[in-house]
């Protein structure tokens, strides 16, 4: 049984990639909404379980947004920006997530 819980924690650690620190995310953070980059295979339930396990707070709501790849030109050479997924995690009043 301990092996199964260790495996579940390992799976949940791969769901959240990093906190998304942007100007828009900092404004949302004032209203108890936190933004994370998440794995492409992540679901709302996976993100909620990962937040509860890692930060010890229970999210009220989770929204997932797909970020599409974008075409860019750098020094005359065409390329693409990656894209991916981000999650908006809504917490109730009084709950906080501290990023160090």
Q: Residue 85: what pLDDT?
A: 96
Q: Residue 10: what pLDDT?
A: 62
Take residue 46 and report the two structure tokens written for it: 């996976």
Take residue 91 and report the two structure tokens written for it: 């917490």
Confidence band, pLDDT 50/70/90 cuts, at residue 51: very high
Take residue 58 and report the two structure tokens written for it: 């229970």
What's the whole-number mean pLDDT along residues 34-41?
94
Name the architecture of domain 2-90: 2-Layer Sandwich (3.30)
Rounded Cα–Cα distance for residues 29 and 12 (Å)? 23
Cα angle value 43/33/97 (rounded, 5°): 90
Please state, rounded to an integer, the average pLDDT across all residues of the chain: 88
Per-residue pLDDT tens over the stretch 63-76: 999 999 999 999 99
Q: Residue 31: what pLDDT?
A: 87
Q: Residue 7: what pLDDT?
A: 64
């Amino acid at each position: 049984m301990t092996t199964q819980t260790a495996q579940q924690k390992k799976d949940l650690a791969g769901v959240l990639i990093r906190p998304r620190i942007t100007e828009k995310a900092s404004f949302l953070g004032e209203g108890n909404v936190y933004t994370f980059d998440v794995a492409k295979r992540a679901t709302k339930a996976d993100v909620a379980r990962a937040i509860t396990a890692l930060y010890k707070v229970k999210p009220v709501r989770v929204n997932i947004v797909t970020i599409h790849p974008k075409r860019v030109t750098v020094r005359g050479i065409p390329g693409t920006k990656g894209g991916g997924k981000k999650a908006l995690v809504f917490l109730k009043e009084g709950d906080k997530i501290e990023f160090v």
